[in-house]
A and B are shown apart, each in its own frame.
Chain A
Amino acid sequence: MAKEIPWGRDFDAALTSAGDKLVLLDFSAAPM
């Protein structure tokens, strides 16, 4: 199990590479 979520930054790249998965798009103001 991953210890943290491997957030990406590029939505279009995520959409292209998602395959059978869905894209979880998080609009955030949390500290990065």
Chain B
Amino acid sequence: MYTDPRVIDFVTRYFVPVRVHVKENAQAFGKLGDRFDAHWTPTILIVDGTGTERHRIEGFIPADDFLSQLALGVAKAAFARKDYAAAERLYRDVVDRFPSTDAAPEALYWNGVSRYRATNDPVALKDTGAAFLQRYQDSTWAKKASVWK
């Protein structure tokens, strides 16, 4: 995952990367593993400046999926700090750049929520519900958005 130039570029741009090795950093692995309830590898956490976990990736996934999950995590962090305009844009980027990944329907859902939060306009949710009638119909996120009519 980490040898893909796109991953390296994305990580360098958005993150301060820290690696805790299960054997070579066993003490830190135990301490941080307990703190974040992470007891398996690979487990990758996206943590904001308050020390709060905003997204978690468990197990190996191919580069495209990994990139989409990293981008999803960046969007979640923007949402968590109530920067809804940025979150809307970042979630939209996930859908546009990685439309075939598992992250895309989740991002589409939260793109609608972010737009609603930013505008307080229920049309944002209605539009998102309509979008799920056109794509990702079999996803859990389509079910969640099915009440937005």
A-side residues, CB < 8 A to B, are: 1-11, 14-15, 17-19, 21-30, 32
Specify which chain B residues have a CB less than 8 angstroms from the CB of A32 in the assembled complex. 19, 21, 24
Asked if A8 and B16 make an inter-chain contact with CB atoms under 8 angstroms apart, the answer reads yes
- Bound CA span A2–B12, Å: 7
Total A-B residue contacts, Cβ distance less than 8 Å: 121
User: Which of A1, A2, A27 is within 8 Å of B33, CB to CB?
Assistant: A27
Specify which chain A residues have a CB less than 8 angstroms from the CB of B85 in the assembled complex. none
Distance to closest chain A CB from B40 (angstroms): 8
- Bound CA span A30–B8, Å: 17
Question: Are A26 and B47 CB-contacts (below 8 A) given A8-B16, A11-B32?
Answer: no
- Bound CA span A25–B17, Å: 6
> By DSSP majority rule, is chain B's interface helix, strand, loop, or mixed?
mixed
Closest chain A residue to B7, Cβ basis:
A5
> By DSSP majority rule, is chain A's interface helix, strand, loop, or mixed?
loop
Distance to closest chain B CB from A17 (angstroms): 7
Question: Are A29 and B14 CB-contacts (below 8 A) given A1-B5, A2-B9, A22-B46?
Answer: no
User: Which of B18, B42, B51 is within 8 Å of A10, CB to CB?
Assistant: B18
- Bound CA span A27–B10, Å: 19
Closest chain B residue to A17, Cβ basis:
B16
- Bound CA span A19–B14, Å: 11
Question: Are A11 and B41 CB-contacts (below 8 A) given A1-B5, A23-B47, A24-B16?
Answer: no
- Bound CA span A4–B38, Å: 25
Asked if B8 and A18 make an inter-chain contact with CB atoms under 8 angstroms apart, the answer reads no
